Amino acid sequence: MRLWPRSLHYRLLLIVLMGLLLANGLSVTLVLAERMSSARHVMLGNLEDDVSTSVAILDRLPANERAQWLPRLERGNYRYILGPGEPGAPPADARSRDAVRTLTEILATHYPLRFTAVPGPVSHIQAHLTLSDGSPLTLDLTPRMPPVARWLPVVFVIQLLLVVICAWLAVRQVVRPFTHFTRAVDTLEPASPHPLTLTEQGPLEVRQAARAFNAMQERIQTSLKERAQILAAISHDLQTPITRMRLRVEMADQPDLRDKLTQDLDSMTRLVREGIDYARSSGVAPEPVRNVDLYNFIDTLVCDYADTGKNVQFTAARSNVPFATRPQALHRILTNLLDNALKFGDKADVTLTMRDDRVQIAVEDNGPGIPEHELAAVLQPFYRVESSRNRETGGTGLGLAIAVQLAGQLNGELQLVNRPEGGLSARITLPSA
């Protein structure tokens, strides 16, 4: 249904507003109906008393004095005419019926009486009667209700505005905590070192929801820390037996078997070390923040790779503005990204872009890229795109996961994007402040 709004805020506002408007409209209708009914009874009662008295006065006055009394007896919606009046058909409109019935009840028993309708846009009748001396008398009557006071429409408009404002405030009080809760859930990062904590204030239900959210987030953080501790402990304990196995393999007599076992032990050692690094990146308190020259920092790292014969290029505008960051964490992120780029491609391009509110570092390669449906999955621990599951080509699956953890410690974000010309672009976005 297109007319039904998609937002909960506007749905509740529409429902509450329609309910209040219907209730207000019903109240106004009942008040106006009761007012019209009361006004009609008052009008007919005044007509009954006033006309009977006026006709009796005119009937008892001498014929030559009646004209002088006509202005005194005239009212807002009727007057008296000394004469037969205008001919016409009997009135048939609904508004005239009450007046005809009232006049018939008070005059027909004493005077000959008939009614005619005067043509026109509004209800207009004349009552023709004959006084005791045979003189004709006409009552010219325009049946109408008393006019509505000028201030009444203004009051209705003000009342409508108050209804709209109150409905909006009521819906806002209901939806605003829910919106904050939804935003907190959307921004929930279990691995973040600075998790967002909802303020436990407001109505009872809102405080309970915030308390439950904070408790859930704390349980998630505890579970992740326990997992990281288990991983670190296992990885650390594996180093000793791996070292013993390496010593025993080196004493083997068969060279081919010794080389194969040594390769396996190297892979196990690399996996253990990266497991320890991942556990440290998620469970250890981050290093202190220091000011660095970001241009020289990245240029030095790129030069180190170039000195070892790697095809790594760095492009950026020269800038000496100090940048506050955690150097070791940033160095590890860039190292992991450059290693990945050189593993799947034959060159890596590093680009630094500095703006007022953020800094972006991009590491691009000319490799095969990553399927679009796996771009988010490769950021998870132990996930590798390589279908062969070969440690030499697919890695351990922890390099990008460690980079994501460390980027979170820097209040930044790591994003992977496939390049249109081929290859992968790994972009680190960091706040400049």
Digit-coded pLDDT (tens) for 50-108 = 888 888 888 888 888 888 888 888 887 888 888 888 888 888 887 788 788 888 888 88
pLDDT of residue 195: 66
Q: Is the pLDDT of residue 388 over 50?
A: no
**Residues written for the chain:** 433
pLDDT confidence of 363, banded at 50, 70, 90?
Answer: very high
From 118, 141, 164, the end of a domain falls on 141
Higher-confidence residue of 68 and 317: namely 68
Q: How far apart are CA 7 and CA 65, in angstroms?
A: 78
Q: How far apart are CA 237 and CA 82, in angstroms?
A: 125
Q: How far apart are CA 111 and CA 43, in angstroms?
A: 22
Average pLDDT over residues 372-381: 81
Higher-confidence residue of 425 and 24: namely 425
276 occurs within a structural domain: no
261 occurs within a structural domain: no
Digit-coded pLDDT (tens) for 219-247 = 877 777 777 677 667 766 777 777 777 77
| Domain extent at residue 89 | 8-141
Beta bridge partners of 78: 141
CATH number at residue 119: 3.30.450.300
Beta carbons of 12 and 171 less than 8 angstroms apart? yes
Average pLDDT over residues 3-19: 75
From 141, 170, 192, the end of a domain falls on 141
Residues 6+ apart with CB under 8 A from 216: none
Total number of domains constituting the chain: 2
- Name the average pLDDT for the chain: 79
361-364: long-range contacts, CB 8 A cutoff, minimum separation 24 = 361/298, 361/334, 361/427, 361/428, 361/430, 362/425, 362/426, 362/427, 362/428, 363/334, 363/337, 363/338, 363/425, 363/426, 363/427, 364/419, 364/423, 364/424, 364/425, 364/426
pLDDT confidence of 350, banded at 50, 70, 90?
Answer: very high
Helix H or strand E segment including 283 = helix 255-283
249 occurs within a structural domain: no
pTM over 0.85? The answer is: no
pLDDT of residue 319: 72
228 occurs within a structural domain: no
203 occurs within a structural domain: no
420 occurs within a structural domain: yes
Helix H or strand E segment including 417 = strand 413-418
pLDDT of residue 190: 61
CATH number at residue 372: 3.30.565.10
Q: Is the pLDDT of residue 138 over 50?
A: yes
From 141, 161, 180, the end of a domain falls on 141
173 occurs within a structural domain: no
Q: Is the pLDDT of residue 183 over 50?
A: yes
181 occurs within a structural domain: no
